[in-house]
A and B are shown apart, each in its own frame.
Chain A
């Protein structure tokens, strides 16, 4: 049987990987030391053409289905890992057929929750992860995607100005519909809650959970966060005709949550004394789109919020609030943001992404100022940060080596 390759962008180096060897037996020298998390399939990470790829061995039809699904999610601009290829028609050295492989691109600077728990953690990490997962789930549900296996293990996290943003990793059980019913959404949520509780209990059993709080109690947060956000984004509101400013107010509230309103349904009742309004199409990324328009910087939502705040401060402190926004933004970029980001020594650039470094330097400046009881220039804060904070942080560009557990379900008496 001939090896069959389906890929969006062809990379010849992909053919050099040892496809005739079961994934479990791939030689160590081609593997990138990355955490594998818990998985019911065999998963390996390899270095290829300067990047890192995740390879998962599964049945052909399932691999193809998941590949197509991930491509669809990308088309819908939903945060998910990028599908790279499906390799099928594999046979081993004796001509016996092997399962297909789904290849996805590793998300730079992303962290599996288990890797986060192997570092010394800031308090409240679990809740911040769950908050990020709730946002992801709401976004997926708004688009009509039913996940079917929501869990921390099936999600990757990227730092986002002190918080996290979440990315879908495993779309194996997912389905895209026009619209999800309440039952489908509730079912996904129930799966999420049970899985999160299980995952936290497991960390607890392994002595990795540094917090005192009960995993079951923490897991319930996914329900409240999800329902709050879902309600804010979709609920119908009735306002008196004399309070039309409330329409604007609703839009502003959604912006604050990081969403733009692309379509708002407004209807008046027959006698015209009240207005019903309900957001119909909302789009995540309000702040990051605004920052992108002003500066060309493409960063995550909370980072963008942070950067926009700093831009606002810059504009006020230089007395330029009346000026054209884009010109001020350009100056801020050249005089504030870029000097900080470029000030990071080459040896330390794999620690954190530039926007996250900027956020941390701002935090650090605040901390120094509080201690000194006076303002600190950003250049000074940067120097102190590079000297005393950044070097002790782990490299997170392609996160490495925590304990890996793999419990694939295989037939007894060896396999095949």
Chain B
């Protein structure tokens, strides 16, 4: 087991001016589960492949433990790409299906047996070891595939969108299995996904990338509670955070009729704007004229809760993060038994402590 370090690691594809990964710095602790997440083209897969040795590093270094692996070939790095190969061999026992790669690597028989038994124990496959894969359920077959990587006992597991070709139900099942398995094994793991829900539920920490640049690397809780910039605020959380550009005055930001206090150094002198971010569950909804006035467009009932989708009554107020053709609605979570009527007007303002304020120019958290 080992730490992993991206040290100013940079990848520029031939023929491109912009780096695909730009001076990436991440320290992954021994035994940690780190998720690289971001929209397509952000550089997450490239980063993982640089670590695997599949992508050249043009500048900077990559370390596994105290070894500089920047120029080592993939097979000399002691990392395992998990789920690379799902194929199960029908004539071979489950034990042989798990251990055959060790045989190729020249590991002796008793050692193979020992490692296969350990892995089977962790994966709850002990009683199936002598059976053929046909006798297993779908989920058990998946675990055999995991077992194949485990028996190699690498220093680092690498997973590149391992769930992307599974159906929704199996995706959730496998997600839970991978996360709990990783915790039991304690093997340092770097996992790539484009799905923020996957990232939030699986990672000890999340590294969010955009355009090759690391936006923030933190625990899921911190990413959620203290997003470092507007991009992180909009990416993490579902439904996404409401981001509203409002004027900043000497005593705070004007959120409709509601005054949002700002730290003194950020209070504006009129004319300047800040972006106020508030998550759907941190919204106070009232019929009193206090806050930002919304017209209710859609109610999404979820049972205990409901989501209210509204449009600001003042057409000058536009939410950040919408695309060109479609204005982004303001979303508020309300008690499912106390839901405003569609078409009615309501007022919303942020609940005290769960407020996020960003510089409109730089996008940085204030």
Interface residues of A (CB under 8 A from B): 38, 40, 58-59, 62, 99, 148-149, 151, 153, 172, 178-179, 181-184, 186-187, 190-191, 193-195, 197-199, 201-203, 205-206, 208, 216, 219, 405, 407-412, 415-416
Contacts and interface: CB of A to CB of B under 8 A. Distances in A.
Given A58-B165, A201-B92, A183 B170 contact: no
Contact of B89 (A181, A199, A219): A199
Nearest to B140: A412
Interface stretch (B51-59, B122-130, B219-227, B315-323): B51-59
Contact of B87 (A195, A203, A208): A195
A153 B170 contact: no
Quick one: which of B13, B84, B166, B173 has the most chain A CB within 10 A? B84
Given A59-B165, A202-B91, A409 B54 contact: no
Contacts of B73: 182-183, 186
Interface of B: 13-15, 52-56, 73-75, 84-93, 96, 100-101, 103-104, 133-134, 137-139, 141-142, 145, 164-167, 169-170, 173
A172 B138 CA distance: 21
B100 A407 contact: no
Given A186-B74, A216-B104, A411 B169 contact: yes
Nearest to A38: B87
Given A184-B55, A202-B91, 5 more contacts: A186-B75, A208-B91, A407-B134, A412-B173, A415-B138
Contacts of B139: 411-412
7 contacts: A38-B89, A178-B15, A183-B73, A193-B104, A409-B166, A410-B167, A411-B173
A186 B53 CA distance: 10
Nearest to A146: B54
Contacts of A194: 85, 101, 104
A40 B101 contact: no
A409 B142 contact: yes
B74 A198 contact: no
B362 to A, nearest CB: 35
A59 B15 CA distance: 32
B89 A201 contact: yes
A151 B103 contact: no
Contacts of B55: 181, 183-184
Contacts of A202: 89-92
A195 B89 CA distance: 10
Contacts of A187: 52-54, 74-75
Contacts of A206: 90-91
A185 to B, nearest CB: 10
A179 B142 contact: no
B141 A407 contact: yes
A340 B121 CA distance: 63
Nearest to A41: B165
Contacts of B86: 40, 409
A411 B176 CA distance: 13
A57 to B, nearest CB: 11
Contacts of B88: 38, 407
A151 B87 contact: yes
Contacts of A183: 52-56, 73-74
A294 to B, nearest CB: 40
Given A193-B104, A205-B92, A415 B87 contact: no
B357 to A, nearest CB: 38
B75 A190 contact: yes
A120 B48 CA distance: 45
B100 A198 contact: yes
B169 A197 contact: no
Contacts of B91: 202-203, 205-206, 208
A201 B102 CA distance: 13
Given A183-B54, A195-B85, A201-B96, A409 B90 contact: no
A190 B77 CA distance: 13
Closest 10 CB pairs of A and B: A206-B91, A202-B89, A410-B138, A411-B170, A205-B91, A405-B90, A411-B169, A412-B139, A183-B53, A40-B86
Contacts of A405: 90, 134
A181 B141 contact: no
B52 to A, nearest CB: 8
Contacts of A182: 73
Contacts of A208: 91
Contacts of B87: 38, 40, 151, 153, 195, 198, 407
A200 B142 CA distance: 22
B75 A416 contact: no
Contacts of B104: 193-194, 197, 216, 219
B167 A415 contact: yes
B96 A179 contact: no
Contact of B85 (A99, A149, A219): A149
Contacts of A219: 104
A245 to B, nearest CB: 35
B132 to A, nearest CB: 9
A402 B89 CA distance: 16
A193 to B, nearest CB: 7
Contacts of A153: 87
A18 to B, nearest CB: 20
Given A183-B53, A415-B167, A205 B85 contact: no
A58 B86 CA distance: 15
Nearest to A179: B14
Contact of A181 (B56, B92, B169): B56
